[in-house]
Amino acid sequence: MKTALVVAAAFSWAAASATAAEPPANKCDTAEAKQFDFWVGDWDLSFQDEGKTATSHNRISKILDGCAILEEFSGPPGTPLQGRSLSTYDRLTHRWKQTWVDNDATYLDFSGGFADGRMILSREARKDGKRFLQRMVWQEIRADAFEWLWQRSDDDGRTWTTAWKIDYWRSARQGA
């Protein structure tokens, strides 16, 4: 009988310990997991393309019970570019992760975070045997607009060159 009580107590303790170690019911309801929420919505875009102003559209939505952010990018009118990204806050590394793919067979993977009012995601890349860094910067973030930069560094991030700047503003087609 004593053995049965000891075994029952051990199982009860193990079950209580397992329950106490379980994460909260909504793993994506933390302040860190909401840092990218400013991006969610329908956006009109404006940027310079070969010296001319071009426009485009980007739809950003939360999916998978709010644990992932889906980007659906459309290239400028008359161009075939279509791209998608999937972003999530990785609780183990405490970093945002993003994967981009498009209809030109481009695959890019980024990681980073939100600091000093800017979201910065970066990656290491190679071309012709040369290593460099690439990053995306969301800055000057307001409720209805922000600026997005595509940058490159050839000196391990000491200096950055902006190759592409896009101005975002909330679309009149919000919710369409």
- CATH code of the domain covering residue 131: 2.40.128.20
Query: What is the predicted pLDDT for the residue at 14?
Result: 42
Tally of structural domains, the chain: 1
Domain presence at residue 82: yes
Domain presence at residue 136: yes
Could you give the CA distance from residue 33 to residue 94 in angstroms, rounded to a whole number? 10
Domain that holds residue 46: 31-170
Sheet strands (E) in the chain? 41-49, 52-63, 68-74, 82-90, 95-102, 107-115, 118-127, 130-139, 145-153, 161-170
**88: exposed, middle or buried (Cβ count in 10 Å: 0-12, 13-18, 19+):** middle
Give the three-class secondary structure for 19. Answer: helix
Domain presence at residue 3: no
DSSP state of 15: H
Query: What is the predicted pLDDT for the residue at 19?
Result: 44
Domain presence at residue 17: no
Domain presence at residue 84: yes
Could you give the CA distance from residue 153 to residue 143 in angstroms, rounded to a whole number? 30
Which amino acid would we find at residue 170?
R
β-strands 145-153, 41-49 pairing: unpaired
Mean pLDDT split into 10-residue runs, the chain, 176 residues: 44 44 68 95 92 92 96 86 96 96 96 96 96 98 97 97 96 64
Query: What is the predicted pLDDT for the residue at 76?
Result: 79
pTM over 0.85: no
Contact 48, 165 (CB under 8 A): yes
Domain presence at residue 157: yes
Domain presence at residue 37: yes
